[in-house]
Structure 1
Amino acid sequence: MSVVFLSTGPPTVSAEQLRAIAKSYDVVVDAHEEEHYRHLLNGLDATSQLVEALPAYTDPRLLPDSSTLPRTYERLAGNAEKNPLNTWSHRTSITDPKPLDKRLEGRTIVVKDNVSIAGVPLTGGTFPELLTGKTEYPIPQIDAVVVKRVLESGGVLKGSANCEHFSMSPLSFTSASGPVHNVWLKGYTTGGSSSGCAATVAATQARTWRKKHGLPPNDEELGESVDMAIGGDQGGSIRIPAAYAGIYGFKATHGLVPYSGIISLVPFIDHTGPMTTTLVDNALLLSVLVGYDGMDPRCTPETPLRANVPDYCGLLEAWKAEKESNGEWTPQAAGRGLRVGVLKEGLEVVGLSDEVKAVISAAIARFKAVGADVQEVSIPMHVLGPSIWTVVTRPFITSNGLQNRATPFLGYAMPDITPPVFDQKAYEVLNKHNPAVVNMFFNSAFMNAKPDANQQLAKAMGLVQQLRDVYDEALTDFDVLLTPVNPRVGSKHPEYAMDVEKKMEPAIGATLNTCQFNVTGHPALSMPAGWGKVSDGPGMLPVGMQLVGKRFDEMSIFKAAAAWEVGGKGLDRWNGQLN
């Protein structure tokens, strides 16, 4: 292969620069060869300057429809009066006057604040100085694909919801604007990193639930809410907050929902998807979001074209109708024909509380009661999944997720996100607000500095395939696998003044049943299964159940969840007390 550089003007690369570059490799260039290599570097420098001078190109498929412009917004983050639970980042109201269809007509939707909305500031849950090196947040010129699809289906985009610093916390106290509170018990976590999404949807859930159970409204405590949200999940960040908030959160198969226009952590584990108050709404929003976009390298040959996207709602209703015609859509028979594998190791993860285990045990009994074939299945490698997830992602966390370095795959690279170099000032801010981000910088540097870093990474990638294979093998015998989501009932927000250990302690173990499926790509739903007592107070908070299916078989999960709920909704398993 030949390398051709443009001819150059006066040299710009000094001999000292060349020597410094060579020294970084522990190489000494012979004196008589220095001028040759310096000349080649000078040519490269001129070539890069030429590219730098070219105008940037924005894929027209990401540009907002002109009929939705202009757009206005109001920043609500940290506004206690208008935003009592600190769920909102920026509020707006965007509709398409001529949508392509009406599936979401009149439905209100919010997106996680790592999703681009043209004309609305993007925060990534952090401070602008840490996102761009400037004092102002970037204002995207594009709509993420999921935003465009919501608008094309008649949805009302209400704005962006707060999220955790760089999407790196399973709890909800690390956002730059302060803690995001649980709608059921203020002062407690609503889970992360899609914290604001979970809480804005859960506020709608709480209003409906309180009315159903004859409790007085508490609208002033909840603030404005929405019907649906679009969250992000790299280790559990849709499912964990959905579980803590008592809503439905779906991490679909990797590559099924395009990620174009969303801040990445590591493409290998990036997922985006629906968070809703009901299972049917989850199926509806997923149908709107799914399908190849022609840009996202996360999509695979298995990702359906838009014309071939399943109508999850229609298919679910047809399946219900068939069961009804057979007299099976009853609390005693709705689950007939479904095979549910209770993952033994999922009920043995470190830190799983008795409260959560009791709720999940009752949920398993419900599956049996509705007629499903329920059996325990052992997958010993499940307990190794978090370690594999850690080793395979840590080398890339800094360059991809914390510095937004473009990957060697064609795709939209979020050019407005230009974090500065990690330094003492950044350390002090992050150490106070989210030590997990500091830990990621240290983790990435440590992993990459190992003499055998490449061999270890290659081995970990092979283990990912093995992990995928063992789940696939188990799923030949079952339609879904069942685990808890959150190992413990939600905890109180820690104080910023606490030391690192105390701030991070409540998050330990939070992803032990979720992160595996980010690296293997299997679809997984979090749904409310019941209530559990908090360990540090008198209150009750929701507990989530996770259903995992074959890759690109979201329908089996929806069927199993729907059959389970014929016996009653998870949040209806209530003892009459919230606090």
Structure 2
Amino acid sequence: MSIVSLSTGEPTCTVEDVRAIAAANGFTIPPGSVDETAFLLFANAFDATCEEVIKLPEYEDPRLKPVAVEGGERKFYLPGAKENPLNAWAHRTILKTATAKGPLSGRTIAVKDNVSVGGLPLGLGCSPSLLKDGKHPISPIDAIVVQRLLAAGATIKGTATCENLSMFAVSYTSHSGVVHNAWLPGYATGGSSSGCGALVSIGDVEEARRGGKDSRDYPLGEGVDVAVGGDQGGSIRLPAAYSGIYGLMPTHGLIPYTGIAALNPLIDHTGPMTRTVEDAALMLGVMAGYDGIDPRMTPESPMPDKVPKYSEDLHAWVAEKEKSGEWTTKSAAKGLRIGILKEGFEIVGLDPAVSKVVKTAGERFRSLGAEVKEVSVPLHKHGAAIWTTAARPMMPNSISGNPPDLLSHTMPHLQPNPIGQTYYDTLVHRNPAAVNILMNAAHMQRKYGPSLARKAHMHVWELRAAYDKALEEVDVLITPCNNTVCPKHPAGTAKTDDNPEGFSERIMDLFEPAIGNTLNTCSFNVTGHPAMSMPVGWGKAEGSDGRLPIGMQLVARRWDEASIFKVAKAWEVGGRWVDSL
């Protein structure tokens, strides 16, 4: 690597700087030597190069310029408790284009609070004290998915609460407070796309009330038709499972992540959260396609005009089945091959009630005419360990605001403060997982060096190949999504007059309900396979007479979301999950 030029100005680095930099790299340069003199010259030259870039004006990529909306100015507000009883909304707004007509016309949408929406705060579910100037930044850009949704005629009603820094699998770590399950307040919705799960499920709760299946009248607030979630280990699928909706994590690289706060490009996904299979297919068709910016996308990613017509293809498949007389409770799934993933039912901590509901749901396919068989992928048992060791070492870079190694949109408006004692004090009794991730990364580096992460990455390839091999025999793999029925919010997490921050004194009180939640979901984040949670039944809520949803996960070959939609739609011919309410 070359040196741009030698500095001719006043020195900006000293010998002490050079010695400190060398020490940070684990070596020393002989003091007073010609080597030290040379490296002092190089340090000043490099500092001059850095200053040259610092002095350049900030560049805003015109491809992310906010879309023009009705009324011109984008306005927002923070909803009060009366309007936001589930604490599912982060900020409220109404954004729609004046002219766009498309497949999402008339649909209302919420987006997770880590997605850039021009003119709205980007909250990340965290305290503003963790960000530059102690404020949540107002986004100057629209994420690519926001642009596409508005262009398709959608109305964005606001941003949805997410878990603190998108680093928790249950819904009680957000800086704004706990997010309540719409089916049973006081219980979690899953995380980290917790607000999205609650807001979309409101529609089903309201429908149950109108149909006389639910006589309770606690306030829900306004919900939405569909939402945009994010998923690094299960953060779309788990809230969907706990909330009784559909949550799709698409093939890695199918939907651009540009303009969304990242945790690690290896595992970052965004996708739809909806009340119906049809809406999931419809949204995917709008959101998917190469954007020319996101390094997560590859030559396999389709150009926007080559994205499969998921919604139209699903309707055409159903119509063909109806025409042939197969769209019945005996033959709707004829021609589909269903694999019950053996190891998915052997995970630690799997509630027998959840296992029973999902196995029963899987067996329904047999009566619907599908081929159903058990499939074994022994490496699935090690999937969570592979995901952890492959992804965790790089996550502190995202927390610190460091860009990934490949060219991407770095969201310069989002600048975290340096990690230090304030970070620890702010999060340890709110979301200790965000502290533990830093501890894990440092632990790996200190004890194992880079070799463990490199080994884990090779096992990602092995794990992908193992799932690919299994999916040669079947169209989808089935596992439980949530390992337990949705847990109650731990005591101390709710904000009260006596505990205004909602801090829990015992860290383990926060961790225990989330342990093992992602054992069946996180593997597919690193392998890139599409996976969707769909609601298939109910489980008894611990400590209550109420019931809460249980989700079944469907996993397909990479780039084969169409099979997931077909399988889910065929299952519903035997009756939708809410019919048993």
Question: Shorter-chain TM-score: which interval?
Answer: over 0.9
Equivalent positions of 1:174-185 (< 5 A) are 174-185=173-184
How far apart, CA to CA, are the structure 2 residues paired with 1:424 and 1:3? 37
1:311-390 equivalences in 2 (<5 Å): 311-390=309-388
Q: Is 1:70 matched with 2:62?
A: no
Instruction: Give 1:214 shift.
Output: 4.5
Residue pair 1:172, 1:195 contacting (<8 A) in 2 also:
yes
Mapped pair 1:531 → 2:538: yes
1:117-149 per-position Cα deviation (integer Å, ceiling 9, x unaligned): 00000100001111x232221001000001000
2:163 alignment partner in structure 1 = 164
Q: How does 1:197-346 map to 2 (within 5 A)?
A: 197-216=196-215, 218=217, 221-346=219-344
- Would the alpha carbon gap of residues 54 and 471 (structure 1) be closer, same or farther in structure 2, given more than 3 Å must change? same
| SS of residue in 2 equivalent to 1:199 | helix
Alignment of 1:373-412 (within 5 A): 373-400=371-398, 402-412=399-409
Tell me the amino acid that sits aligned with residue 301 of structure 2. T
Residue 217 of structure 1 deviates from its aligned partner by 7.2
For residue 498 of structure 1, report the CA deviation from its aligned partner.
4.0
Q: Distance in 2 between matches of 1:156 and 1:340?
A: 37
Is the 1:171–1:191 Cα contact (8 Å) retained in structure 2? Answer: yes
State the secondary structure of the residue aligned to 1:231.
strand
| Residue 534 (structure 1) shift | 1.6
- Report the count of equivalent residues: 567
SS class of match (2:339): strand
The 8 Å contact of residues 211 and 217 in structure 1, kept in 2 or not, is answered as no
Q: Which range moved further: 499-508 or 33-42?
A: 33-42
Corresponding residue of 1:114 = 114
Counterpart in the other structure of 1:577:
none
- Which moves more between the two structures, 263-272 or 436-445? 436-445
1:56 equivalent in alignment to 2:87 = no
Letter in 2 for 1:109: I
Alignment RMSD, CA only?
1.3
Out of 522, 541, 549, the residue aligned to residue 542 of structure 1 is 549
Segment drifting more, 510-519 vs 358-367: 358-367
C-alpha distance after superposition, 1:200-234 (max 9, x if no partner): 0011121123323444473x611011000000000
Percentage identity across paired residues of the two chains: 50
Aligned to 1:441, which of 428, 438, 442? 438
Residue 535 (structure 1) shift: 2.4
Q: Which residue of 2 aligns with 1:187?
A: 186
Cα distance, 1:273 vs. partner?
Answer: 0.3
The one-character-per-residue Cα deviations of 1:41-76 (angstroms, maximum 9, x if unpaired) are: 101111101100101111111001234531000112
Query: Quick check: 2:109–2:228 contact (8 Å CA) kept in 1?
Result: yes
SS in 2 for 1:410: coil
Quote the offset at 1:421 in angstroms.
2.3
Partner residue in 1 for 2:45: 43
The Cα offsets for residues 381-414 of structure 1, whole Å up to 9 and x where unpaired, read as: 00100000000011111112x1121012111111
Name the amino acid aligned to 2:542.
S
Matched position secondary structure for 2:132: coil
Q: Could you say what secondary structure the match of 1:483 adopts?
A: strand
Answer whether contact 2:66 2:141 (CA < 8 A) is retained.
yes
TM-score, L = length of structure 1 = 0.96
Partner of 2:429: 432
Q: Report the secondary structure of 2:157's partner residue.
A: strand
Shift of 1:426: 2.1
Task: Tell me, yes or no, if the aligned pair for 1:258 and 1:293 is still in contact at 8 Å.
Answer: yes
Which blocks of at least 5 consecutive residues in structure 1 are unaligned?
575-579
Matched, 1:422 2:423: no
Equivalent residue letter for 1:416: H
Deviations 1:220-273 (A, max 9, x none): 611011000000000000000000000000000000000000000000000000
Superposition deviation, residue 550 in structure 1: 0.2
SS of corresponding position for 1:186: coil
Q: TM-score, normalised by structure 2?
A: 0.96
Q: Distance in 2 between matches of 1:281 and 1:183?
A: 20
State the alpha-carbon separation in 1 of the partners of residues 355 and 73 from structure 2: 51
Greater displacement, 180-189 / 452-461: 452-461
Tell me if 1:521 matches 2:528.
Answer: yes
- Measure the CA separation in 2 of the matches of 1:503 and 1:313: 40
8 Å Cα contact 1:207/1:217 also seen in 2? no
Q: Find out whether 1:473 has 2:475 as its counterpart.
A: no
2:482 to 486, 494, 507: 486
Per-residue deviation at 1:344?
0.4
Deviation at 1:6, TM superposition (A): 5.4
Report the 3-state secondary structure (helix = DSSP H, G, I; strand = E; otherwise coil) of the residue aligned with 1:176. coil
Structure 1 residue 551 and structure 2 residue 558: aligned?
yes
